[in-house]
């Protein structure tokens, strides 16, 4: 476990920043950079890990278009009543997704040496679509990373394949849901096997938001031994309002957006056109932090049709996962609850019963008062974080 001095360098306990480069350079993270968290309460190391991915994909008979009218028409056809779009562009024979890909990671630990020495559990944080790793560490007061550190947990956040500082391979044939599951599974394995910095953790907890919750739940279905517990936020058993969300986003080819970080991307990488669409889908006025909202708009990220067309294929009950599960939703989540997660019943409780029939008795659910989809950026975010940490402590994690 991590509080064994064999795996926790003494220099790190004395000066966390000084020891990061030497501890992590030869241990899985390349080009390591040490820094405090955005919230200021954690000591972090960020850099790249190279993951070898070999998984089954979907052979999509679709060629990404640079023509925005064609992009828009694809979504019209995908979400129209009785749509056969997904079936029409799916070949009978599957494809193979294989290669080495660079994934950006950020490992954060308590800055207090006494708290750090007692860390035994790491949380693997998976962000949602059009977000990146910064969702978990927005700013002081809105940083789940810092709340976790203060409670004695390590966290590893990362940019999904095709997002942010991670590699951007083919957005249709490679950046698919199964590839994202493979990335998450590989990262969980690195944490399990002490291959990130040489630190050994007793427990690994999967924490997801939105599409990141879908991926985390996909792990518990396919690889139920990866996680000792999971916390899923911004998710439910219903996709009825997803089409409304896509319409609000008004997705465009990212390389037509003025943001310079998107200019090199090929057609098929998509992003939201406007701040109005982001607010409509993710936020509930006036219950969110304005600065956090503007930060998301300024740092909006990408999604791909490859993921959108395949994400549903990984959704299935995790019948073999027997650990504790916590499902957290904003009261006014539009994406997965149509704006009311208590109608016609508690959607968090419904999702828990459908997706985790074998979950332990320590499982919990939570409704974040007044929050929209982006729970972490709402004024009730700190209360949601407190609940999530209490869930782990209640289960001795």
Give the CATH number, domain containing residue 142: 3.40.50.1820
Report yes or no on 2 lying in a domain. Answer: no
Q: What is the pLDDT of residues 157-216, one digit of tens each?
A: 999 999 999 999 999 999 999 999 999 999 999 999 888 867 779 999 999 999 999 999
Q: Taking residues 256-271, what's their average pLDDT?
A: 94
Q: Taking residues 316-337, what's their average pLDDT?
A: 97
Q: Please give the radius of gyration of the chain, using alpha carbons only, rounded to the nearest integer.
A: 20
Report yes or no on 332 lying in a domain. Answer: yes
pTM, whole model, 2 decimals? 0.93
Report yes or no on 3 lying in a domain. Answer: no
Residue 195: what pLDDT?
Answer: 80
Q: What is the pLDDT of residues 202-221, one digit of tens each?
A: 999 999 999 999 999 999 99
Considering the chain, what percentage of its residues have pLDDT values greater than 70?
93
pLDDT at 18 over 50: no
pLDDT at 349 over 50: yes
Q: Which residues form the domain of 280?
A: 10-394
pLDDT at 7 over 90: no
Helices marked H in 124-170 — which ranges? 144-150
- SS3 letters across the chain: CCCCCCCCCHHHHHCHHHHHHHHHCCCCCEEEEEEECCCCCEEEEEEEEEEEEEEEECCECCCCCCCHHHHHHHHHHHHCCCCCHHHHCECCCCEEEEEEEEEEEEEEEECCHHHHCCCCEEEEEECCCCCCHHHHECCCCCEHHHHHHHCCCEEEEECCCCCCCCCCCCCCCCCCHHHHHHHHHHHHHHHHCCCCCCCCCCEEEEEEECHHHHHHHHHHHHCCCCCCEEEEECCCCCCCCHHHHHHHHCCEEHHHCCCHHHCCCCCCEEECCCHHHHHHHHCCCCCECHHHHHHHHHCCCCEEHHHHCCHHHHCCCCCCCCCCEEEEEECCCHHHHCCCCCCCCCHHHHHHHHHCCCCCCCCEEEEECCCCCCHHHECCHHHHHHHHHHHHHHCCC
DSSP state of 91: -
Report yes or no on 5 lying in a domain. Answer: no
Lowest mean pLDDT across 113-127, 128-142, 189-203, 324-338? 189-203
Residue 247 near residue 279 (C-beta atoms within 8 A): no
pLDDT at 12 over 80: no
Counted domains in the chain: 1
Report yes or no on 382 lying in a domain. Answer: yes
pLDDT at 21 over 70: no
Report yes or no on 272 lying in a domain. Answer: yes
Residue 114: what pLDDT?
Answer: 92
3 state DSSP class of 329: strand
Report yes or no on 232 lying in a domain. Answer: yes
């Amino acid at each position: 476990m991590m509080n064994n001095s064999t795996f926790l360098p003494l220099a790190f306990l004395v000066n966390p920043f000084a020891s990061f480069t030497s501890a992590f350079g030869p241990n899985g993270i390349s080009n390591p950079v040490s820094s405090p968290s955005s919230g200021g309460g954690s000591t972090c190391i960020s850099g790249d890990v190279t993951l070898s991915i070999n998984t089954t994909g979907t052979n999509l008979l679709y060629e990404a278009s640079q023509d925005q009218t064609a992009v828009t028409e694809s979504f019209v056809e995908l979400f129209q009543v009785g749509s056969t779009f997904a079936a029409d562009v799916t070949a009978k024979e599957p494809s193979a997704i294989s290669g080495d890909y660079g994934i950006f990671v950020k490992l954060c630990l308590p800055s207090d040496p006494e708290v750090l020495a007692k860390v035994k559990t790491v949380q693997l944080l998976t962000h949602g679509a059009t977000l990146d790793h910064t969702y978990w560490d927005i700013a002081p007061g809105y940083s789940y990373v810092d709340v976790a550190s203060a409670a004695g947990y390590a966290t590893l956040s990362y940019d999904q394949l095709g997002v942010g500082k991670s590699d951007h391979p083919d957005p249709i044939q490679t950046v698919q849901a199964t590839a994202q599951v493979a990335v998450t599974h590989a990262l969980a394995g690195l944490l399990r096997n002490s291959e990130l910095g040489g630190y050994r953790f007793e427990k690994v907890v999967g924490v997801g938001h939105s599409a990141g919750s879908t991926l985390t739940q996909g792990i518990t279905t396919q690889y139920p031994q990866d996680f000792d517990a999971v916390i899923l936020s911004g998710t439910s058993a219903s996709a009825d309002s997803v089409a409304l969300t896509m319409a609000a986003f008004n997705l465009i080819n990212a390389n037509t957006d003025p943001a310079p970080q998107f200019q090199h991307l090929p057609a098929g990488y998509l992003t939201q056109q406007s701040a109005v669409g982001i607010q409509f889908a993710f936020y509930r006025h006036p219950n969110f932090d304005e600065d956090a909202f503007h930060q998301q708009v300024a740092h909006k990220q990408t999604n791909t049709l490859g993921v959108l067309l395949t994400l549903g294929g990984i959704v299935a009950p995790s019948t073999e996962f027997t650990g504790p599960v916590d499902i957290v939703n904003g009261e006014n989540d539009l994406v997965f609850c149509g704006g009311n997660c208590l109608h016609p019943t508690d959607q968090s409780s419904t999702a828990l019963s459908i997706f985790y029939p074998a979950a332990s008795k320590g499982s919990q659910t939570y409704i974040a008062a007044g929050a929209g989809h982006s729970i972490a950026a709402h004024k009730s975010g700190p209360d949601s974080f407190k609940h999530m940490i209490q869930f782990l402590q209640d289960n001795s994690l």
